[in-house]
Amino acid sequence: MLELRLVQGSLLKKVLEAVKDLVNDANFDCSATGFSLQAMDSSHVALVALLLRSEGFEHYRCDRNISMGMNLGNMAKMLKCAGNDDIITLKADDGSDVVTFMFESPTQDKIADFEMKLMDIDSEHLGIPEAEYHAIVRMPSSEFARICKDLSSIGDTVVISVTKEGVKFSTRGDIGTANIVCRQNTTVDKPEEATVIEMNEPVSLTFALRYFNSFTKATPLSNTVTLSLSSELPVVVEYKIAEMGYIRFYLAPKIED
């Protein structure tokens, strides 16, 4: 028996909007720790890891670890039917091939049940090693989204370079080149507006912009985003989900042969 009640149902709506274009089908894993997902895009270039900790749910019952295969497009369609202020409850019986989403309006005057078929998905969980990153950049998530969108109108790839001067995003395309430098800026009114650069070593890596633009669909989940970079390792683009967990996107770099 599984029963997860999330008072801030909009979080789950936003999570689905953030991942549904990157990943088609995925297993949601439910354990005492929380509700999680790990999945790669179809070309195995990017990986998404989601964790919503059990403590973040108003009610969290998961009698045994279960894995529920879902089509994320279909799940997003169902969650779109929940109001932004609705409380969302996920329910599944042991051995069942369906999951039920229950949406309750805040005043309890409207209650909806949506039942979705589960699917069998062969998923291989990857071990993500702990890594020491050469540089960690925290910046406003809206600023990062703006940079990715702007650069993708010029080129297909972005070179992210972190030096003591700041973090530089560069691209080139048929019509020309673009460089955007963000310097550390901690003298702002609100901490979430700061750009903070922790650098152990300078690092420069090349990535496909279209994946970054997909990751920025998670922008509504968090005011800030953290980029963790190390030479010849996938970048980690992390959006913290307040009081609940995180959504992390890993993107493999482009490397010269």
Partner 1 sequence: VNQQRQITAFFGKK
Nearer to partner 1, 118 or 208 (CB): 208
CB-based contact 180:147 (threshold 8 Å): yes
Q: Does 187 bind partner 1 (CB under 8 A)?
A: no
**Residue matched to tokens 């998905």:** 121
Nearer to partner 1, 139 or 159 (CB): 159
Nearer to partner 1, 5 or 172 (CB): 172
CB of 50 to partner 1, least distance (A): 16
Considering only 209, 233, 241, 247, the residue that binds partner 1 (CB under 8 A) is: 233
The CA distance from 33 to 178, in Å, is: 44
Q: What is the CA radius of gyration of the chain?
A: 19
Instruction: Map the footprint of partner 1 across residues 115-134, applying CB under 8 A.
Output: 124-129
The CA distance from 232 to 106, in Å, is: 48
Considering only 8, 54, 71, 157, the residue that binds partner 1 (CB under 8 A) is: 157
Q: Does 110 bind partner 1 (CB under 8 A)?
A: no
* Helical (H) or strand (E) element with 130: none
**Helix or strand or coil: residue 33?**
coil
Nearer to partner 1, 126 or 242 (CB): 126
The CA distance from 247 to 232, in Å, is: 22
* Helical (H) or strand (E) element with 206: strand 203-208
Nearer to partner 1, 126 or 188 (CB): 126
CB of 185 to partner 1, least distance (A): 30
Instruction: Map the footprint of partner 1 across residues 50-109, applying CB under 8 A.
Output: none
Q: In what order do the strands lie in the sheet with 98-104?
A: 59-62, 2-6, 87-92, 98-104, 111-117
Nearer to partner 1, 95 or 127 (CB): 127
Q: Residue 178's closest CA among 156, 202, 208, 207?
A: 156
CB of 19 to partner 1, least distance (A): 15
Q: Does 252 bind partner 1 (CB under 8 A)?
A: yes
The CA distance from 229 to 217, in Å, is: 20
Instruction: Map the footprint of partner 1 across residues 18-57, applying CB under 8 A.
Output: 40, 43-47
Nearer to partner 1, 94 or 130 (CB): 130
Considering only 26, 90, 208, 236, the residue that binds partner 1 (CB under 8 A) is: 208
Q: Residue 123's closest CA among 176, 63, 49, 205?
A: 49
- Positions touching partner 1 (CB under 8 A) are 40, 43-47, 124-129, 157, 206, 208, 233-234, 250-257
